[in-house]
Amino acid sequence: MSKTIKELADELGVSKQTIQYHYQHLLANNRQKDSRGFNVVNHTAEREIRSKVAKNLPPKNRQRTDKEVANNQQKTDKEKTSIHADLKMQIEDLKRQRDRLFASKEKEIASKDRQIEKLSQLLDQSQQLQLLTQKKNEQLEHKLEIETTKKPFSKNENKGRKWWPFSKKKEEK
């Protein structure tokens, strides 16, 4: 079965460019393209590329054994597990922060509700006092009208009197 250049590079543990370089130096009859137009490596070409890559690689970079691959897989699994645990802790911390924030906002809202209720009561009391004051003013105005209608003001009543008490003494002299 044919492989792509990327698949072969992953298997050998080298870059795609390395495989591409060796692929370009193969004979034309060993180079193929698939239906999508990608370069595909057949079995013959794969053997040639493997032999060239294995010669050029230092011992560290040669194809890994199954044990090394399994060890690396275990290491990545452990790393993923620790990352997963860290993310869970962060999520829990964020949830606690969110809950504290909601609780404080609920307290603020309750406080604002109490303030609004007190202000409503004060407004109601103020309106009641204003209404009482208005009624008293109307009563006083009504009493004043009644008194003024009972005793009409006449200028004749004060005709004989002088404003100043001294004025009588002067007249007597």
The predicted structure's pLDDT at residue 104: 95
Note whether residue 98 is domain-resident: no
User: Has residue 117 been placed in a domain?
Assistant: no
Q: What's the domain range around 53?
A: 3-63
- Residue 106 has what pLDDT? 96
pLDDT at res. 132? 96
- Residue 56 has a pLDDT of 63
Residue 19's pLDDT is 85
pTM of the predicted model, to two decimals?
0.36
Query: Residue 49: inside a domain, yes or no?
Result: yes
In-domain check, residue 11:
yes
Please, which residues have CB within 8 angstroms of residue 22's CB and are 6 or more apart in sequence?
A: 48, 49, 52, 53
CB 62 within 8 A of CB 54: yes
Burial of 62: CB neighbours in 10 Å, binned 0-12, 13-18, 19+: middle
Q: In 3D, which of 16, 15, 42, 20 has the Cα closest to residue 31? A: 42
pLDDT of residue 73: 74
Q: Going residue by residue through the chain (173 aa), what tens digit of pLDDT does each one get?
A: 678 888 888 888 888 898 888 888 888 777 777 778 778 888 888 888 888 887 665 555 445 566 666 677 777 777 888 888 889 999 999 999 999 999 999 999 999 999 999 999 999 999 999 999 999 999 999 999 888 887 655 555 555 556 666 655 545 54
pLDDT of residue 64: 55
Indicate the number of domains in the chain.
1
CATH number of the domain where residue 44 is located:
1.10.1660
